[in-house]
Amino acid sequence: MNVIDVSGLTKAFNGVVAVDHVALRVAAGEIVGFLGPNGSGKTTTIRMICGLLTPDAGEGTVLGFDVRRDSALIKREVGYMTQRFSLYEDLTIEENLLFVARLYHLAERRRVVAATLDTLGLTSRRHQTAGALSGGWKQRLALAACIMHRPKLLLLDEPTAGVDPKARREFWDEIHRLAGGGLTVLVSTHYMDEAERCHRINYISYGKMLAAGTAPEIVRASGLSTFVVTAPPSGDFLARIETLDGVEQVAAFGAALHVSGVDHDRLAAALAPLAREDGVTVAPGETSLEDVFIHFMGVGGGLAHEERTPS
């Protein structure tokens, strides 16, 4: 069963198309990553899915409810964690959760809040004001507020931005625990390690969905080949490689360069002469998810430019 099953979702603001005929399917119990550059349409898509925005065009269902007609019903069954911390910083953790519990008209509010505090390890901090919390603890409080009413779908909009690696890992461990209990999760992120922890990934750029599948499927479908080039430190070596035939992108990783292109034979032929230089090695490498998404950013930008340029 698909918890999210929408197609053709379109939304424009002041004549500018933010989301352009997007289709998205998420099965029950999945953790699906939603990736794309800033301004690509991720947040607008999420807001249409959770009933906060009405699509200009498109159709489909979220939790079995019509995405255009049943926004009020969808809101009751969804937990939505926004990019910015949106609880009251002058209230304590416990006071914030009691406030949210009242908004959802939850019965036995204090018992529900106490159980939520315990589940997310917040009990010992329940009397701290939200404004005094670190980014990681604010994130945990925001998650608690989103799941307290037992939603069936959790929408997370870049939830770990600005959070340290330990807190990010703990957050993702919690997300997998919740999904193991049957919760469905759609999460937007810029972090490739987080994308790889999702069951499937969708990539959007300039309002258009460019790819969907598991991380290995998306890497394979990109058609990119990657070589690892090492050389003595030199300011112009990277610039030299960027000009070679068949090279689409070059990224530095420590002392090595990851060189990628869609035509394997052209790329190999262009790099072969470098391997004969003193101190330079060229070897086949594995294309990473980051390589693919940088490639998609170029493809998406080209599409956008082509569409917006008068013929």
Structure confidence by residue, pLDDT tens digits, 88-138: 999 999 999 999 999 999 999 999 999 999 999 999 999 999 999 998 999
Residues 129 and 78 in one domain: yes
Write out the residue range of the structural domain in which residue 304 sits.
223-308
Domain final residue, candidates 191, 218, 245: 218
Residues 243 and 175 in one domain: no
Residues 299 and 202 in one domain: no
Mean pLDDT value across the chain:
91
Q: Which of 103-107, 251-255, 299-303 has the highest mean predicted lDDT (pLDDT)?
A: 103-107
CATH (domain of 210): 3.40.50.300
Residues 115 and 253 in one domain: no
269-273 long-range Cβ contacts below 8 angstroms, 24+ apart? 269/245, 270/244, 270/245, 270/246, 271/227, 271/229, 271/241, 271/244
Q: At which residue do the structure tokens 């990224």 appear?
A: 251
Give the separation between CA 45 and CA 86, rounded to whole angstroms. 20
Tokens of 139: 């994130």
Domain final residue, candidates 218, 252, 282: 218
Say if residues 52 and 32 touch (Cβ distance below 8 Å). no
Question: Please, which pLDDT band fits residue 300 given cuts at 50, 70 and 90?
Answer: low
Give the separation between CA 75 and CA 73, rounded to whole angstroms. 5
Give residue 270's pLDDT.
95
Structure confidence by residue, pLDDT tens digits, 181-193: 999 999 998 888 8
